[in-house]
Amino acid sequence: MNAAQTYQKPAQRRQSVSLPSRRKHAAIAALSFCTLAALPIICVSLFGNPADAQSFGAVSIIPIAEPTVLSPLDDETLPAPDILASELNAGENPTEILADETAPEVDALEVDALGNPINRDNTPELPSVETLPSPSKTILIDGNAIGPSRLAPAPFAGLTQANQYGTAPAKGPNGRTPLNSYNRPFTDTSGKKTVSIIIGGLGVNRTVTQQAIESLPPDITLSFAAHTTGLQDWINRAREAGHEVMIEIPMDSQSFNAAEPGADKALLTNNSVSENLRNMDWLLSRGQGYFGVINYNGDNFLTRADVTAPILGKLADSGIGLITDGAFSTPSLEALSGSVNLPYKNGFGLIDPEPSGDIIRAQLNSLASAALTDTKPIGVGFAYPETINIVADWVTDLEAQSLILAPASHTVLK
């Protein structure tokens, strides 16, 4: 073999080796984990005793006694505190000091520790019957104490119902209604003819409203605009002063002004029945404590039986009364009210068609003349300062005319 024939090692071929798959490793790991987790359960099931898991017996715990704190009342060996140490010096007699301060003209030996005189037998003397104040009489309405004129705060329990706008008046149990519960009580023992006055338009002008509440006698009925802000507060103030209260319902009239406050809730002849009833619900829910309603305008609305009848039915169901001011004729209203058992009274008319002193006095004289015929007339005035001042003066002369002032509700309650 020559040098050209050199030995060469044959080339080796690579061989592929199959490795374990990932799925196999994952399955082995999961099986191992489940086996280890189940092993304690298997051991307990095979070798455990179920009774060991149940609790038996009781452990008594002895309560720890609370430490006893002794006072001079429990242990007489303890010194009693001197509660007068900061008030009196040692050796001073509080009875003598008090007697000297409260009744220096009485001998210290003849008064007790409160300075009351005592007799020779050391028995406290009681005041004589003549010196004791007479007990005041308390009148209760629905559990509320009232004075001789003040009316109890409203509303009363059982005389309200909920509607879509809030709380409205409702008939109560045992014949109780807002009319016979929120009215001002009146009993005539003189036998004189009665006359009534309603002052309306209140709540709009704060000063005039306050003047009417404070200066007019309680037997004059006050009427508030239903849309006025803070109506319930005004009702509360009026009743606290002894006045019974009505609210005014705005109604369609020849002079109706859609821009007036509250006009958007007025009862209109061209509204649907459902819309007028919704407006009525809103008006009735503005406050509580009124015995009835009165019209504001309405010479168009109240002369239409078709639009008026549903409203009268709602008022009757609510247990309140209706008074009209008498400024215009409503020939069918009395019959319609009677058909639904609605207490109703038509007023004598306006006592102040103009805020003139001469006109107001003339109208009041006509009202007094009508009262002498036993018609129980109701004069209706507006919240003019002139009206309030003249009416306040006029009622003081009624006794001389053999008349007596009665709340307006007296003419509606029959």
Using one digit for the tens of pLDDT, what is the confidence trace for 198-234? Answer: 999 999 999 999 999 999 999 999 999 999 999 999 9
Angle between helix 305-318 and helix 273-284 axes, rounded to 10 deg? 40
Q: What is the pLDDT of residue 39?
A: 74
Which residue would you say has higher pLDDT here, 228 or 125? Answer: 228
Residue 129: count other Cβ atoms within 10 Å of its Cβ: 6
The verdict on 115 and 234 lying in the same domain is no
Q: What pLDDT shows up at residue 143?
A: 38
293 within some domain: yes
Q: Are 208 and 202 in contact (CB under 8 A)?
A: yes
Q: Is 237 exposed, middle or buried (0-12, 13-18, 19+ CB in 10 A)?
A: middle
Q: Record the tokens describing residue 60, joined without a space.
A: 């008594």
Residue 139's DSSP bridge partners are: 146
Lowest-confidence region among 122-126, 189-193, 235-239, 344-348: 122-126
- Roughly how many angstroms between the first and final C-alpha of the chain, as a whole number? 156
Beta carbons within 10 angstroms of residue 262's beta carbon: 18
* Residue 131: inside a domain: no
Closest CA to 323 of 355, 354, 291: 291
DSSP symbols for 331-389: TTHHHHHHHTT--EEE--EES-SSS-HHHHHHHHHHHHHHHTTT---EEEEES-HHHHH
pLDDT on residue 190: 83
d(CA 195, CA 12): 138
Q: Are residues 209 and 110 in the same domain?
A: no
Give me the mean pLDDT over the 112-130 stretch: 41
In this structure, of 115-129, 290-304, 329-343, the range with the lowest mean pLDDT score is: 115-129
Tokens of 328: 């215009």
The pLDDT of residue 135 is: 31
Give the chain's domain count: 2
Specify which residues 322 forms β-bridges with. Answer: 293, 344
In a domain, 177, yes or no: yes
Say what the pLDDT of residue 61 is: 59
Residue 23 pairs in a beta bridge with: none
Q: Is the pLDDT of residue 156 over 60?
A: yes
Q: Kindly state the tokens that stand for 128.
A: 């004589």
Vertex 298: Cα angle to 293 and 303 (nearest 5): 105
Is the predicted pLDDT of residue 35 greater than 90, yes or no?
no
Q: Are residues 325 and 241 in the same domain?
A: yes
Residue 40 has pLDDT above 80, yes or no: no
Q: What is the pLDDT of residues 232-263, one digit of tens each?
A: 999 999 999 999 999 999 999 999 999 999 99
β-pairing verdict for 139-141 and 144-146:
antiparallel
Q: What is the reported pLDDT for 18?
A: 57
- The reply to whether 119 and 241 lie within a common domain is no
Dist. CA 80–CA 103, nearest whole Å? 31
Q: What is the CATH number of the domain that holds 394?
A: 3.20.20.370
pLDDT at residue 87 is higher than 70: no
What pLDDT does 99 receive?
Answer: 46
Is the residue at 18 inside a domain?
no
The reply to whether 202 and 343 lie within a common domain is yes
25 located within any domain: no
Residue 348 domain-assigned (yes or no): yes
Domain assignment of residue 150, yes or no = no
Residues 331 and 389 placed together within one structural domain of the fold: yes
Which pLDDT score is estimated for 89? 60
Spatial CA neighbour of 146 closest among 23, 262, 239: 239
The reply to whether 195 and 274 lie within a common domain is yes
Is 212 in the same domain as 331?
yes
| CA distance readout (Å), 58 to 63, 70, 352 | 15, 36, 93
- Which residues lie closer than 8 Å to 198 by C-beta, 6 or more apart? 220, 221, 222, 223, 246, 294, 323, 325, 347, 378, 379, 380, 381, 408
Say if residue 212 is in the same domain as residue 112. Answer: no
Cα separation, 202 vs 234, in Å, equals 9
* 360 and 311 belong to one structural domain: yes
**Buried (b) or exposed (e) across 394-409, using 16+ Cβ within 10 A?**
bbeebeebebbbbbbb
pLDDT at position 90, please?
60
Nearest Cα to Cα of residue 223 among 297, 149, 154, 290: 290
Is residue 245 located within the same domain as residue 107? Answer: no
Long-range Cβ pairs for the range 152-155 (8 Å, 24+): 152/239, 153/236, 153/239, 153/240, 153/289, 154/182, 154/235, 154/236, 154/239, 154/288, 154/289, 155/288, 155/289
Q: What are the pLDDT digits (tens) for 351-401?
A: 999 999 999 999 999 999 999 998 899 999 999 999 999 999 999 999 999
Domain annotation covers residue 48: no
Domain of 106 in residue numbering reads as 100-125
Min mean pLDDT across 128-132, 213-217, 324-328 is at 128-132
Same structural domain, 277 and 377? yes
- Residues in CB range of 395: below 8 A, 6 or more apart: 197, 217, 220, 405
Strand 221-225 relative to strand 245-251, pairing = parallel
Q: How far is CA 84 from the centre of its chain?
A: 49
Q: What is the mean pLDDT of the chain?
A: 81
Identity (one letter) of the amino acid at 59? V
Residue 133 pLDDT > 50:
no
